[in-house]
Copies of this chain bind each other. A is one copy, B any other.
Amino acid sequence: MAEEKAGKAAGIAPAQGAPRRNQRPLSIKDIARIARVSHPTVSRALQNSPLVNAKTAEKIRKIADESGYRASAVARGLVTRRTRTIGLVVTTVADPFASEVVCGVEQTANDHGYSVFLADSHADPERERKVVRAFAERRVDGILVTSSRVGALYLPMLKEMEVPIVLVNDQHPGAFVHSVMIANFEGMRAVAEHLLGLGHRRIAYLGDQFGYQSDAERLAGYRAALEAAGLSAAPELIAHGNSKPDAAMAAMERLLAARPTAVCCYNDMTALGALRQIRARGLRVPEDFSVTGFDDLFFAEYLQPPLTTVRQPMRRMGQLAMESLLRLMEGEESVPQIRVEAELVVRASTGRVKE
């Protein structure tokens, strides 16, 4: 057998430019030949079809197992028109929030026999084009997008694809049907209420880049809490960063001019920069100044002082998104908007207002 196979492979025209793999993997026909059955029978046996004789099936499976045969998902995908792959787009994996979501997605996908194509867009329109194009060519069965900072042209491209799409933390409400998101409004309102309860009256908000949905919702939650307390959110107490520590430092510097006693940061990465700027000004946290985050990233509890924040079940959100996508890919219905609760986690970065 082996010789026959090798001979056949050697008979193929030699590689001219691109190096052709010399030793091609075993095919279903190889197994069929060894088992002295037809290749459809092998196919059936390996799929545990009841239409094949039990003993024959057993023999076939034994041969397949011992020879290390692996059915080609490529060929299967061609005929079944389902690749059992999904495309997962992130702005960048090198972001703790995204990587937690990716982790949840990947686990769930694998548990259901799906493989995940990962693609970083880096919010670069050129890359976005390539990503969507690649997913289309790969014939992915579905697409998952997380925390997209997507360009305008990206949306129509995605929608052109005839596969289900689920978003995590949709920043473009209305553009897509299915999404998983956290209770941004309630989460940030709880944070602001916590600070108000500690006696703070001049509370700043350090947001994400302007125009994104989750920032808008968190800002609204902040506003609602202040207004419920009879305060109004002064414009000079509101600034925007871009979810990165360095931009947060700059924004925090401007905010400090307005003399707040506390700041609600859009997320933990932002809090990282805010904290640094606050200390650079000689203020102690929480004695002189209170700081809060959002996400509860792994480092939040290890900061000095440990960061008061809102826990976002990132991995779980990835899992929920993937489960939703699985349903859609099976042609079933799925809840359009899945919403997870936000949990305030009080640590030591917030304290009673100084006076």
Contacts and interface: CB of A to CB of B under 8 A. Distances in A.
The interface centre, meaning the residue of A81, A92, A118, A298 with most chain B CB atoms within 10 A of its CB, is A118
Contact of A275 (B117, B162, B304): B304
B93 A330 contact: no
A308 to B, nearest CB: 15
B315 A299 contact: no
A23 interface: yes
Contacts of A265: none
A21 interface: yes
A110 interface: yes
A267 to B, nearest CB: 13
Contacts of A131: 110
A77 interface: yes
A88 B93 CA distance: 13
Interface string A84-119: 010010001111101110110011001000011111
A110 B139 contact: no
Interface stretch (A68-76, A144-152, A196-204): A68-76
A329 B182 CA distance: 43
Interface string A231-245: 000000000000001
A137 B71 contact: yes
A75 B276 CA distance: 54
Contacts of A77: 74
Contact of A107 (B15, B120, B299): B120
Contact of A279 (B78, B98, B276, B304): B304
Contacts of A153: none
Interface of A: 15, 18-21, 23-25, 68, 70-75, 77-78, 81-83, 85, 88, 92-96, 98-100, 102-103, 106-107, 110, 115-120, 122, 127, 130-131, 133-134, 136-139, 160, 162, 245, 272-273, 275-276, 279, 298-299, 302-304, 315, 330-331
12 contacts: A71-B137, A93-B93, A94-B103, A94-B298, A98-B99, A99-B99, A115-B119, A116-B117, A117-B118, A118-B118, A279-B304, A303-B303
